[in-house]
Chain A
């Protein structure tokens, strides 16, 4: 039997090892392999509603289904994330009322906007570890239910300082992005992960658009009951607060961490191994690609978050629209996520099928640069119809880029996938904080100028994607390595484990993943010989 390293308590788990720590043989279709039945007698793969791979991750994506556990996890994940987006940006469409109640200046509003996205930098980093430790369900539920008090506490806010503090604390809940992507990554197989993550991320991001419609509407209804505006906006925040609590309870009661069960049950029965956090962290931080993705996401998602904060006020002030109409326009930006981000993920998957990883990188660069160019145009548009057109094209480009980026991220590391998701997500918030601070927090630039300058900065900061190079797949301009060893996926993913760890068989999940990732060679994968994995030394056969 394999050594009982998997029963260590206290050490933080690794992200996304194979669900079963005991897989030893790596052939392609293992659903009826005899050894899997010997190890877990209660493990018939036929019990899943969707076809699954050897890690019990679903191979197809059926958005209209709520089947346990895969599709249910998908829906709970994206709706939780959606709810958190609603809460984080709930203040933005009501700023014209809030700024009068609290006597805010443009600087105060800008700083609060920065604060609203900054909290998540830290919480997204921590969330990767929390998911490893407690599972995606608790990661999501913690995020939702511990930040709900912050949402309710808008009723106490009396000045600029407390407003900033509350928006900062509400912003922590954006960590649900990481738990949502983590949850879908354990539930769905690599070939469709671009599309699935794109849908989950995109539909969640729509919350930033929906809130621009929802909050003015709720505010209006509360005013109709006789409340003054300065009380009505406070009460309006109760709606996102309720939504968070409800979603938290649903996640805990209906959700499941992994295809085979909940994390605590699986860990205690020894079926999921744990990894050392320090190793996971080191391999994430050491990999330069992580940091390039950090910057890239900062200027796709970061730009999107900034726009969620400023666009409603921009249309209200510059084009003299009513609160309601400005909200509709602002909502259109966020709602484009419904198809734009999944489209980006899908485009990435299609490009990968044809050109492999190079296709994914080019797709990412093109989408993000085009989006940024339209952002420049938006700032320069002085008539309302042109501004709306520019905004819509900008939204599609930028949001598709977000989807395409998460078609690349799962391949950067296998051992540290959770942490890399977290770091990339944090990069999004970091980029948003930087752009709001530079361009929207002082009277130095008008909002219109700020938008154009942000677009320019985004174009420049998208160039680093050309430097992402995988030895086995190449990069935007360079071919894959022709070196005997380095051109194999196993070498890249196996390189994250020391020889000692390999001798204990800890790396086997990575090797499994390396085999499945051969599809990133593009059309050549079909023609290439499939080498037998030299590093797959089974401890027992």
Chain B
């Protein structure tokens, strides 16, 4: 019971520390400058009903600071993320879009991060291979511009404001492996057999006892 109390106390302390990191809690998404960046994301395979395979297919992503961006002097880095389209958020509260930035869970997958060089005005592009832990779903790409304090100040995304255009679908890897399947069958068979062997053996011994 003493151990339990210590665990509980240390847990409380850890979590109080975590929750006191809250100075940035009130930053809102709606305060960010919209369309400050022009972002495009082109899948390696396009077409009606094409589903990209995680771990195999690529996205070709380009981003460029828009000429109308007013907060441009504050930009220190650009963070590119993979975000869920509304279709993938239905009945999945853990992917919900929230206005408070620290609560927002719609863009959990980091693609890459680039430090911003104000001298370079042309579009930057790179290829991104979809990671093997990307879940099945419909996505778009968003780039956040962050300032020196690592706070988001502006963003741009590859889709429109309602998130209906230029979306692409990804199919996750199954995570299954032949070796895993075989091991699973082996151990299952062993379990059942072992039980049967014990059972039959004991019944036999009891019969022998009785006949004595």
B192 within 8 A of A: yes
Stretch at the interface among B42-50, B139-147, B196-204: B196-204
Q: Is the CB of B195 within 8 A of A156?
A: no
Q: Is the CB of B181 within 8 A of A155?
A: yes
Stretch at the interface among B3-11, B62-70, B73-81, B114-122: B3-11
Q: Is the CB of A335 within 8 A of B136?
A: no
Which A residues are CB-close (under 8 A) to B103?
320
B23 within 8 A of A: no
Binary interface encoding of chain A residues 68-104 relative to chain B, with 1 for a CB under 8 A from any of its CBs, else 0: 0000000000000000000000000000100111010
Which B residues are CB-close (under 8 A) to A249?
194, 198
Interface of B, helix, strand, loop or mixed by DSSP: helix
Q: Is the CB of B187 within 8 A of A234?
A: no
Q: Is the CB of A145 within 8 A of B194?
A: yes
The CA of A383 and the CA of B198, in the complex, are separated in Å by: 53
Q: Is the CB of A228 within 8 A of B187?
A: no
Shortest CB-to-CB span from B209 to chain A, Å, is: 6
Q: Which residue of B lies closest to A138 (CB)?
A: B199
A339 within 8 A of B: yes
B1 within 8 A of A: yes
A384 within 8 A of B: yes
Q: Which residue of A lies closest to B135 (CB)?
A: A100
Q: Which residue of A lies closest to B133 (CB)?
A: A229
Interface size of A in residues (CB-CB distance below 8 Å): 61
Interface of A, helix, strand, loop or mixed by DSSP: helix
A336 within 8 A of B: yes
Contacts A148-B187, A264-B202 hold; do A317 and B172 have CB atoms under 8 A apart?
no
Q: Is the CB of A142 within 8 A of B195?
A: yes
Q: Is the CB of B184 within 8 A of A156?
A: yes
Binary interface encoding of chain A residues 15-38 relative to chain B, with 1 for a CB under 8 A from any of its CBs, else 0: 000000000000000000000000
A158 within 8 A of B: yes
Interface size of B in residues (CB-CB distance below 8 Å): 50
Give the most central of B7, B94, B172, B175: most A CB within 10 Å: B175
Q: Is the CB of A317 within 8 A of B187?
A: no
The CA of A265 and the CA of B203, in the complex, are separated in Å by: 9
The CA of A148 and the CA of B183, in the complex, are separated in Å by: 13
Q: Is the CB of B94 within 8 A of A155?
A: no
B24 within 8 A of A: no
A107 within 8 A of B: yes
Could you tell me which B residues sit within 8 Å of A by CB distance? Answer: 1, 4, 7-8, 11-12, 14-16, 18-19, 90-94, 102-103, 132-133, 135-137, 172-177, 180-181, 183-185, 187-192, 194-195, 198-199, 202-203, 206-207, 209-210
Given A101-B174, A106-B91, A317-B94, 19 extra CB contacts under 8 A = A103-B136, A105-B90, A148-B188, A148-B191, A152-B184, A153-B184, A156-B184, A228-B133, A230-B174, A234-B177, A248-B194, A264-B202, A268-B206, A313-B94, A332-B4, A338-B4, A383-B19, A385-B19, A392-B8
A sample of 10 inter-chain contacts (CB < 8 A) reads A106-B91, A153-B188, A229-B175, A234-B177, A245-B191, A252-B195, A265-B206, A268-B210, A269-B210, A339-B4
Could you tell me which A residues sit within 8 Å of B by CB distance? Answer: 96, 99-101, 103, 105-107, 138, 141-142, 145-146, 148-149, 152-153, 155-156, 158, 228-231, 233-235, 238, 241-242, 244-245, 248-249, 252, 262, 264-265, 268-269, 313, 316-317, 319-321, 325, 328-329, 332, 335-336, 338-339, 383-385, 388, 392, 443, 446
